[in-house]
């Protein structure tokens, strides 16, 4: 049982710590690195993971499940007893938008067999498209239907996940797809490591700034419980009710255990809304997930 935990922590913790140290000393470093990483690195990483895992029915099912689960949370979470705090669009989005690419992929590789990779990629693709297409609209408070549709299409087209998917589809049409997939596998993993460092840099700069919710995590207790405990449980129940195969249930529930994605903070900054709570949720969920995510991995591994 200790081996997958050690493998998972050894892949994440050094990158996060190096980034955290750098971010406390150079507050703008993450911003300078994030732009080229999102523009070039993330599409390459998505391409590599897609070509390695293959475009399969499992991947499409997982992407659909991500969209369904996030839609249900965004529409209904605030109506549940005890979760009235999630009436805030920022906290609602943060409770179901996870760092599935850079936290969830190493988590799945540590606790699940290699056959889970297409499922993990599919879930991440669906969740990323959902977050970047609907997130700016939710947090920005646009009400005009024509503006909402234009914004949705614009954000969907600009998403790095969309560019990576298009690139993978184009490569799959060539006779060299297997070779390209092999060639991009390690660059894809390197992008994950670099992205984790950028996440650590952002956490370090947030900590140095002394943002209020970071200093007082109890203010975010319910959203943190919703993200790290209730959302993985919700995915576990939803996938089981839909009678997906056990590996699919394990993989999507484990992706739900990933901490709030830094994309929540980037979206909040881009629309100028609720940045403090977004930063606090990203900060504390990432730290706590180093404990809760491996616990979910062990639980899911033992139950299926």
Domain locations in the chain as residue ranges:
2-303
What residues contact 28, with CB distance under 8 A and at least 6 apart? 205
The residue with greater pLDDT, 218 or 113, is: 113
Half-sphere exposure of 164 (CA within 13 A, CB side): 31
- Spatial contact of 48 and 181, defined as CB atoms under 8 Å apart: yes
SS3 260: strand
Task: Give me the pLDDT at residue 47, please.
Answer: 83
Going by the DSSP 8-state scheme, the letter that residue 105 receives in this structure is H
- Spatial contact of 115 and 104, defined as CB atoms under 8 Å apart: no
Task: Give me the pLDDT at residue 293, please.
Answer: 94
Give 114-128 pLDDT, tens digit per residue.
888 889 988 988 898
CA 138/CA 142 separation, integer angstroms: 7
- pTM here is 0.84
Give 11-55 pLDDT, tens digit per residue.
888 999 999 898 888 877 877 787 787 777 878 887 887 787 677
Ranking 21-35, 182-196, 203-217, 255-269 by mean pLDDT, the lowest is 203-217
Q: Is the pLDDT of residue 202 over 90?
A: no
Three-class HEC string of 181-192: HHHHHHHHHHHH
Let me know how long the chain is. Answer: 304
CA 274/CA 278 separation, integer angstroms: 6
What residues contact 149, with CB distance under 8 A and at least 6 apart? none
Residue 258: band (very low, low, confident or very high) from pLDDT cuts 50, 70, 90: very high
What residues contact 279, with CB distance under 8 A and at least 6 apart? 206, 211, 213, 214, 265, 268
Give 125-151 pLDDT, tens digit per residue.
889 888 877 777 777 765 455 555 565
CA 12/CA 188 separation, integer angstroms: 15
Task: Give me the pLDDT at residue 64, please.
Answer: 93
2-303: CATH topology is: Na+/H+ antiporter like fold (1.20.1530)
């Amino acid at each position: 049982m200790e081996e997958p935990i050690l493998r998972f922590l050894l892949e994440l913790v050094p990158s996060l710590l190096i980034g955290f140290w750098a971010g406390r000393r150079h507050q703008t470093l993450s911003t300078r690195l994030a732009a080229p990483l999102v523009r070039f690195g993330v599409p390459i990483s998505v391409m590599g993971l897609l070509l390695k895992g293959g475009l399969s029915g499992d991947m499409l099912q997982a992407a659909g499940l991500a969209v369904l689960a996030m839609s249900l949370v965004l529409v209904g979470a605030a109506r549940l007893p005890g979760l009235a705090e999630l009436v805030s669009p920022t906290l609602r989005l943060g409770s179901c938008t996870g760092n599935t690419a850079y936290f969830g992929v190493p988590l799945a590789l540590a606790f699940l067999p290699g056959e889970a990779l297409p499922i993990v990629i599919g879930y991440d693709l669906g969740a990323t498209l959902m977050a970047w297409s609907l997130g700016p609209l939710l947090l920005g408070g646009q009400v005009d239907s024509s503006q909402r549709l234009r914004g949705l299409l614009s954000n969907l087209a600009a998403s790095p996940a969309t560019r990576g998917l298009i690139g993978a589809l184009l490569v799959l049409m060539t006779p060299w797809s297997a070779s390209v997939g092999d060639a991009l596998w390690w660059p894809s993993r390197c992008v994950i490591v670099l992205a984790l460092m950028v996440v650590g840099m952002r956490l370090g700069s947030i900590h140095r700034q002394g943002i209020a919710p970071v200093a007082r995590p109890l203010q975010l207790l319910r959203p943190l419980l919703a993200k790290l405990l209730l959302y993985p449980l919700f995915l576990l129940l939803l996938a089981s009710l839909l009678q997906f195969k056990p590996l699919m249930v394990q993989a999507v529930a484990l992706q739900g255990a990933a901490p709030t994605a830094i994309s929540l903070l980037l979206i909040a900054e881009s629309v100028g809304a609720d940045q403090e709570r977004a930063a606090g949720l990203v900060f504390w969920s990432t730290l706590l997930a180093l404990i809760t995510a491996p616990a979910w991995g062990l639980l899911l591994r033992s139950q299926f």
